[in-house]
Amino acid sequence: MIIDILRNLDWSPLYISLKTGIAATVVCFFLGLFAAERVMRLPAGRKALADGILTLPLVLPPTAAGFFLLLLFSRRHPLGGFLYENFDVKVVQSWLGCVIAASVIAFPLMYRNARAAFEQVDVNLIYAGRTLGMSEAQIFWRVTVPTAWPGIASGTILTFARALGEYGASSMLAGNIPGKTGTISQKIAMVIQDGDYLTAGVWVAVVLAIAFIVLFLMNLAAGKGTKHLKRW
């Protein structure tokens, strides 16, 4: 029976989820590194304020975040109307909406991990780079990022995992259009509502397999970055 389900299964939710997860991870990677580097340079009070704002999606219910995104990108409101009228870009009920929602929800994981990793970098390495005549951009990409890479790699993998499983905000902003915006999480919810628990179990097994691979890669990346340290 399971073989028949696998044979007749519509794999588009897996493709959409992976595509969304990868796109959101790329967005969060660069924005997270940039935000972490900038926030570290702020005074204490402004740093606390910026950190709270950037971390807010992590503690907000996803549906609440999705509601704010829906208000922001709806064609009835200035930003959504501007994008649609001038660039013919539709965010609501589109795959772009999936990417934006997943990026917003997963961004704090990338930002927090990157900032924590940057704070562990020896400042003397940065001073040495400046002494050698390197620009700030060169120091960032050639010194800071490689030194902080284990933490950045962990944040990247966690960001992908969170974006892959995003449900609440994506449902609010992009909806559940089969073959277009329907992700694995939405598919599981839909088949459970239909009472098809066997198909739901197959999709849950797929999610578990992906989650295991993600955690394995995260531990592998962290292990490579700390192999020079003495173990207990």
Structure tokens at 89: 């870009």
Domains present along the chain, CATH in parentheses: 2-225 (1.10.3720.10)
Asked whether 154 and 111 are in contact (CB, 8 A), the reply is no
Which pLDDT tens digit goes with each residue over 147-179? 998 889 889 988 998 999 899 999 999 988 888
The DSSP secondary structure of 198-224, one letter per residue, reads HHHHHHHHHHHHHHHHHHHHHHHHHHH
The number of residues making up the chain comes to 232
- Whether 2 shows a pLDDT value over 70: the answer reads no
Q: What is the pTM of this model?
A: 0.89
Which pLDDT tens digit goes with each residue over 63-101? 999 999 999 998 888 888 888 888 888 899 999 999 999
